[in-house]
Amino acid sequence: MSAVVIVQPSGPLRTNVVLVGDPERREAIAIDPAIPSLSTIVGAAAEQGWRIVLAVVTHGHWDHMGELAALSEHVWRHEQRELPIGVHPLDQDRLLHPRPIAAPFPIPEVVPSRELRDGETIHAGRVALRVLHTPGHTEGSVSFHDQAAGVLFSGDTLFRGAWGRTDLPGGDERALLESLQRLAILDPATRVIPGHGAETTIAAESVWIQRAARRGSLA
């Protein structure tokens, strides 16, 4: 069984909203639901015949969590069940008290129900995503690694030829460099789906990451 991955850029910052699902057991995880992606997420899940069993964020910035409240409400209204919402505990407050810096619309608060801890595995059917704590962009930034499928969902930690900003509240260049080094040792063939922009591979990014590590700086 191989996970099916659906990526749809959404919102003013073109966040890569992801659905990753098990086509046999028909369960899926939503990653980084940005406003306005509710109809996209719900439509894609319906087309695949998937039940969304978990919604998670790679970090708590508004452009990665803004649609959580609407998605949770939709699941409750149509399926009469609560949708578990996961975030690393160090970014939990960003969901409880959103900080919509430069957001062009209000960002509703949401109460997370699951803490995502480094090294744990989250599941949708037989899809297994390992949580990697990759701070630096925010204190509680995480990446999700599907080793079986060879896919990494890197949020705003690693982009194609670039890295996440460290000049926002919670940013830390040294922590980010350490996080990038952690990702660089994954299988070179690993497909990387970042929080924004085009996908890449670990092989394509590891050279500059190792060069930055030797310098001790991302500058």
| Domain 4-215, classified CATH 3.90.190.20, yes or no | no
In this prediction, residue 172 has a pLDDT band, given cuts at 50, 70 and 90, of: very high
Which pLDDT belongs to residue 2? Answer: 79
In this prediction, residue 1 has a pLDDT band, given cuts at 50, 70 and 90, of: low
Which pLDDT belongs to residue 100? Answer: 86
- Residue 63, CA atoms < 13 Å, CB-side half-sphere: 16
For the chain, give percent helix, strand, coil, nearest 5.
30, 30, 45
Which pLDDT belongs to residue 131? Answer: 98
Cα separation, 51 vs 49, whole angstroms: 7
Task: Tell me the sheet residues that pair with 149.
Answer: none
Q: State the CB neighbour count (10 A cutoff) for residue 104.
A: 9
Mean pLDDT of the chain: 97
Nearest-CA neighbor of 59 among 12, 91, 100, 16? 91
Give the pLDDT confidence of 173-208 residue by residue, as tens digits: 999 999 999 999 999 999 999 999 999 999 999 999
Does residue 147 have a pLDDT over 80?
yes
Give the pLDDT confidence of 102-131 residue by residue, as tens digits: 899 999 999 999 999 999 999 999 999 999
The backbone region for 80, taken as left when phi is positive above 0, alpha when psi lies in -120 to 50, beta otherwise, is left
Q: Which residues contact 161 (CB under 8 A, 6 or more apart)?
A: 200, 204, 205, 208
Give the pLDDT confidence of 83-108 residue by residue, as tens digits: 999 999 999 999 999 988 889 999 99
Give the pLDDT confidence of 9-61 residue by residue, as tens digits: 999 999 999 999 999 999 999 999 999 999 999 999 999 999 999 999 999 99
Which pLDDT belongs to residue 174? Answer: 97
